[in-house]
Amino acid sequence: MLRTVRVLAENGPVRVDLAREERQDASPLVVVKRLQGFHPTLERRLAREAEVVKKLDHPNILPLLAEREGALIYPYLPGPSLATVLERGPLPAARVFRIAAAILDALAYAHERHIIHNDVKPGNLLIRGERVVLLDFGFAKDLALAAITGVGAAMGTPNYMAPEQFEGHRNDPRSDLYGVAAVAYHALQGSPPYGRDVLRMLAGDSTLSLPMPHDPTGRLGAWLERGLARHPDDRFPDAASMRDALADLLDAGMPVPA
């Protein structure tokens, strides 16, 4: 039986605990995600999360250890989330590029298996030194499985959500690419794209401007603008292409601070 060491997070009925086996103080710590109370729809979502993550085996994706009595058990990996890291301000461009490349590696792998994350954001990225781990497939869409969320339901985090997600469309892997670009923009600029005006942008206001990070070559701004394009067809075609474009940008000799 698992004993709670401390509560890591509570978001409505969803609770995440740090735990270990009772009466085994030397046992490894684990993270337990469970529901509090009776929530049939959320129970189905938790079960779907388990189905999805069981299909994934990648060094940049947190694996599922087990399901137990309706709870999901994940390994505990010490380290801050990117959201916590960014509370101290922007990151050097070279580090941002390494983080973005790692996320895109994970997403390319997931997308090949018809799985869309749908909630790429700093809070779902664990920083372990030079390693980046993608967490929380609770909003994920597995294109191989029947839908359990009603058509038109907007799911995600507005500051990192693609416009089509805001409209309730969750079937396009390129929505995750928007999320990666939004995370990279935040890490470079110190705040997410569009800030307090993000809902205006998502609702269709095309008059808003978005300042790009300083780059004499203009290549970084072009990469970000393509990733943040309003229409999916104007973004990179897939995660691997977006990752390779980032590598090409560096190979072209763009000046990047360490």
Mean pLDDT of all residues in 224-236:
96
When pLDDT is cut at 50, 70 and 90, the band that residue 257 belongs to is very low
Nearest C-alpha neighbor of 104 from the set 179, 163, 171: 179
When pLDDT is cut at 50, 70 and 90, the band that residue 39 belongs to is confident
Q: Which domains does the chain have, with CATH numbers?
A: 2-75 (3.30.200.20), 82-251 (1.10.510.10)
The chain-wide mean pLDDT, for the chain, equals 89
Residue 258 has pLDDT above 80, yes or no: no
pLDDT digits (tens, 9 = 90+) for 148-174: 555 555 567 889 999 999 988 889 999
Beta sheet of 30-35, edge-to-edge order:
2-11, 14-21, 30-35, 71-75, 66-68
